[in-house]
Structure 1
């Protein structure tokens, strides 16, 4: 089974939701790459117009720029979309600055909670997700599980200053931990200059509770649990076709 091809099929299906004039969040990783390539092709062929991409990582920014996709940073987009609007008049719906984001996931449970961050971009990915009207997640069927943690660890981005204390904290919660390393053997450093601890909690019975515990810890900058309230749809590809899963 060619899982790369399945990812491509699902990603290109999700791109069908991108329309002229949209601001589009561009995910990070092998699956999101297929969506970025497809968007770029549609722009080049004249099938998509007035599109701006908002990248979730420096790697994605380089890829999209090289393919000719016009880009904005999140700060630039905020200024553009709120021009001549007083901040006090903004509400939660108007802060959904991005129309659609297409991204991958490392694991998706039966409630459509996610684990993300295998590519190291979890912080920017979550920021973009929180500013997105519709988050479309693209996976192949191997990423589905009944509970988070069955197939993937939880990436936890921490301050360099707090590395050892956060390892101790995560282990106190029952996790087995590994400090993520780069290809040269040194510590992996995120786009924001932080380290990542890969925390294996095993099967996570209550993702919302773990999400809260991690959010409350000062040395933890962000983590890879994305609760389903962030997700609009999951495009899941298999040899039988594409199934679009939505939060009920």
Structure 2
């Protein structure tokens, strides 16, 4: 039996797939909730409830899963547009600004989100925060030869910085692009995500960071009320 959190993830994944129409080019996100979305999409394609779908994945993990499910795929360079991108998030603030990159896929995730006509974020209620980066670490992807230099500059900005290490493997995490990830935390959180995104990305050696600013069109939130699973269409605070 699915846990309550997994039931919330399943509910928002199905709700997002309900927006897909025949002939769409889709951005297929990364992470546990996005994986449930890809599985639901694959099931509907197999049953011919959806036709002429093309997916653009945001990670090698997503590519493997979509391929196993028979979802036709193209690279980002091979499509002229993306009709709808669906992805999860690690944190969502009331203004629909995000932190992503817990799975170290945020570079491709941001490229796909920025290309999409509509970007839908699917999360469970635990991912909603009043302010970003008070607890969840912000990932910064860096060139391997520059990680220490970038670490020092981030520390000068007031951040606590750690090189992300791999689990069950010696050494650091290596991204799909062959880079390293620094995880950072500002003790007072991030009050101005737009400014912080630019400041970090302007450090030489940084490829991209996990702040997703002014990209999201819709947030679907899985919730539990009176032991019943529901999906809330979140309203952005202006």
Q: Which runs of 5+ in 2 are unaligned?
A: none
Counterpart residue number, 2:193: 207
1:17-166 → structure 2 map (5 Å cutoff): 17-78=19-80, 97-166=81-150
Deviation at 1:185, TM superposition (A): 3.0
Residues 150 and 204 in structure 2, CA contact (< 8 A), matched pair in contact too? no
Any idea what the Cα deviations from partners look like across 1:58-109, whole Å, max 9, x if unmatched?
Answer: 111011001100000011113xxxxxxxxxxxxxxxxxx1000110000001
CA distance in structure 2 between the aligned counterparts of 1:98 and 1:201, rounded to whole angstroms: 34
Q: SS of the residue aligned with 2:177?
A: coil
Residues 137 and 234 in structure 1, CA contact (< 8 A), matched pair in contact too? yes
CA distance in structure 2 between the aligned counterparts of 1:173 and 1:5, rounded to whole angstroms: 40
Q: SS of the residue aligned with 1:230?
A: coil
Calculate the TM-score normalised by the size of structure 2.
0.93
Q: Which portions of structure 1, spanning 4 or more consecutive aligned residues, are displaced by more than 6 angstroms?
A: none
Counterpart residue number, 1:174: 158
CA distance in structure 1 between the aligned counterparts of 2:174 and 2:123, rounded to whole angstroms: 26
Q: SS of the residue aligned with 1:13?
A: helix
Residues 107 and 151 in structure 1, CA contact (< 8 A), matched pair in contact too? no
Residues 145 and 151 in structure 1, CA contact (< 8 A), matched pair in contact too? no
Cα RMSD of the aligned pairs, angstroms, is 1.1
Q: Is residue 238 of structure 1 aligned with residue 223 of structure 2?
A: yes
Calculate the TM-score normalised by the size of structure 1.
0.90
Q: SS of the residue aligned with 2:234?
A: strand
CA distance in structure 2 between the aligned counterparts of 1:3 and 1:148, rounded to whole angstroms: 21
CA distance in structure 2 between the aligned counterparts of 1:134 and 1:185, rounded to whole angstroms: 39
Counterpart residue number, 1:222: 208
Deviation at 1:150, TM superposition (A): 2.3
Counterpart residue number, 1:81: none
CA distance in structure 2 between the aligned counterparts of 1:50 and 1:116, rounded to whole angstroms: 29
Q: Which runs of 5+ in 1 are unaligned?
A: 79-96
